[in-house]
Chain A
């Protein structure tokens, strides 16, 4: 992964912006799975 330019501070959590972006993408995947389960459970 290419290092961030010096005018960009690191994020307050997870150390790098790349890791933070990955965490957000994983959160989206988790939400979609949860919503799919929700739909499946409550749609007879």
Chain B
């Protein structure tokens, strides 16, 4: 990091946080602190929803995902617009008219208190795990950049975010999200522009697309169906729709964004903006990874992108031979790529693909050496984009890209801490522990709960260290719980005669089914939401049959 990068990074963060706090001066009641007094315009909510979902993981891990696996990850988002339409038409008016602080408060109006508490606790467990991972991702940035232990960086980042979230409440969260998303857009354009600019002049964008396509990195749509394959068109449309329905319709960290809207129409517009903008944005981030892949075809990448691990294995006796094989494999691939570009045809294509396979084989041997030495799994997907930024981008731009990554991280963590605090106070504390206290008491409780969840995020951030690709880990963890949440809301919205006990038992059965699928089958995690939701609805309806018959 050069001095200019530090200045750009610091100035961006100071501006974003100051602006957020300036816009959130008036938070003197629980309603204003947790729902912004229901005054938010659609564009602020729209970018806040987008920023909350686009965590640092999106930047760091998604581009790396395209580097190692191609662009097919974009299909994961195909179900999102459909989910947004369904939520806009059904959940948004119901939540608004119910005048609730949390989605789970609505469940008590519809079912009973025990169902509300059960679902609230499921949310606290699920989001509590995720907030630690979300905080770990930017810590990873500073670990690579400065060589600081990630424990220090999680404390610094976590404290900063918890501080402005505690002071400014949801207004601070939303307005910082708004600024953070703008910084992210700017950072994305710059990163893609620089990746293209840094390609060899005789390759250019056209050649890059040709090579990336030949290496299977531009596989944006996969039409073959496989239950166990995470990313194909059908899994993306159906599994992705269920996941998005669960996340945007039942997860308080998202529901709370659009509960702040000044009207139903404003909240709907904020969701539909995301329906239109999310897929192009993900495509854009994946394209960066694909172009970086081609860049590293001509510029030798490190054997693995984690510098500390690389330096550890470089002292092993097997390393010199491995490094020599790696140099040969890189030269062979570069030569094959040039031959394919100069004379595209079956023969040169086959040679390029074989060279790519050889190169990946040596890289796998490097990973295996690290795993043998450490005795644990290793995955360097999360370091690929960062290594590129740090080594090849000019002074100033590195700071800006890092500011974008930090912005992404802070927007997600702040929304998660804010929503965790809201559920803790509204669904648990106010409902079951201290009823009928004053507004100022609950406001203080909300601030203290925010501090608690900030500390919790810092303490649990180390959990991310043991996970592989963070973007997959977060989605997989979410999928363990979202099916149950979605199922109970489907019962609430769609089946008027299902009672509280049936819904309660349905949720427990749905969660049991998901955990069975996770630990005893090979089914892709995208289907957990479908399985969980179907089981909740089926059990809820089955248990309600006597009641339905009695009424008939």
- The CA-CA distance from A43 to B218 in the complex, in Å, is 7
Question: Given known contacts A25-B82, A38-B218, is B210 in contact with A17 (CB within 8 Å)?
Answer: no
Could you list some 9 contacts between A and B, CB below 8 A?
A11-B265, A28-B81, A28-B82, A28-B275, A31-B279, A36-B220, A38-B218, A39-B220, A39-B222
- The CA-CA distance from A21 to B82 in the complex, in Å, is 9
Residue numbers of A with Cβ under 8 A of B are: 5, 7-12, 17, 20-21, 24-25, 27-28, 31-32, 35-36, 38-39, 41-44
Q: What residues of B have a CB within 8 angstroms of the CB of A11 in the complex?
A: 265, 268-269
Question: Given known contacts A38-B220, A39-B219, A43-B219, is B93 in contact with A25 (CB within 8 Å)?
Answer: no
Contact between A31 and B213 (Cβ–Cβ < 8 Å)? no
Residue numbers of B with Cβ under 8 A of A are: 74, 78, 81-82, 84-85, 88-89, 93, 97, 209-210, 212-214, 216, 218-223, 233, 263-265, 268-269, 272, 275-276, 279-280, 283, 344, 349
- The CA-CA distance from A21 to B276 in the complex, in Å, is 11
Please name the residue on chain A nearest to B290 by beta carbon: A42
Contact between B85 and A9 (Cβ–Cβ < 8 Å)? no
Interface of B is mostly: helix
Q: What residues of A have a CB within 8 angstroms of the CB of B349 in the complex?
A: 44
Q: What residues of B have a CB within 8 angstroms of the CB of A5 in the complex?
A: 93
- The CA-CA distance from A31 to B213 in the complex, in Å, is 19
Partner of B272 from the list A8, A24, A38, A42 (CB cut-off 8 Å) is A24
Q: What residues of B have a CB within 8 angstroms of the CB of A12 in the complex?
A: 269
Q: What residues of B have a CB within 8 angstroms of the CB of A32 in the complex?
A: 78, 221, 233
Q: What residues of A have a CB within 8 angstroms of the CB of B81 in the complex?
A: 24-25, 27-28
Question: Given known contacts A25-B81, A28-B82, A36-B223, is B89 in contact with A44 (CB within 8 Å)?
Answer: no
- The CA-CA distance from A8 to B272 in the complex, in Å, is 15
- The CA-CA distance from A43 to B283 in the complex, in Å, is 17
How far is the CB of B231 from the nearest CB of chain A, in Å? 12
Partner of A44 from the list B78, B213, B269 (CB cut-off 8 Å) is B213
Please name the residue on chain A nearest to B96 by beta carbon: A7
- The CA-CA distance from A41 to B264 in the complex, in Å, is 42
Contact between A17 and B89 (Cβ–Cβ < 8 Å)? yes
Contact between B264 and A8 (Cβ–Cβ < 8 Å)? yes
Partner of A21 from the list B78, B89, B93, B221 (CB cut-off 8 Å) is B89
Please name the residue on chain B nearest to A13 by beta carbon: B269
Q: What residues of A have a CB within 8 angstroms of the CB of B82 in the complex?
A: 25, 28
Most buried by A among B82, B85, B214, B216: B85
Q: What residues of A have a CB within 8 angstroms of the CB of B280 in the complex?
A: 31
Question: Given known contacts A10-B265, A31-B279, is B213 in contact with A43 (CB within 8 Å)?
Answer: yes
Question: Given known contacts A11-B265, A12-B269, is B216 in contact with A43 (CB within 8 Å)?
Answer: yes
Q: What residues of B have a CB within 8 angstroms of the CB of A44 in the complex?
A: 213-214, 344, 349
Please name the residue on chain A nearest to B233 by beta carbon: A32
Partner of B221 from the list A24, A25, A27, A39 (CB cut-off 8 Å) is A39
Contact between A25 and B85 (Cβ–Cβ < 8 Å)? yes
- The CA-CA distance from A27 to B84 in the complex, in Å, is 13
Contact between B97 and A35 (Cβ–Cβ < 8 Å)? no
Contact between B212 and A42 (Cβ–Cβ < 8 Å)? yes
Question: 19 extra interchain contacts, Cβ-Cβ under 8 A, other than A32-B221, A43-B219?
Answer: A5-B93, A7-B93, A7-B97, A7-B264, A8-B93, A8-B264, A20-B272, A24-B272, A27-B276, A28-B81, A28-B82, A32-B233, A35-B74, A36-B220, A38-B220, A39-B218, A39-B220, A42-B210, A44-B213
Contact between B263 and A9 (Cβ–Cβ < 8 Å)? yes
Q: What residues of A have a CB within 8 angstroms of the CB of B263 in the complex?
A: 8-9
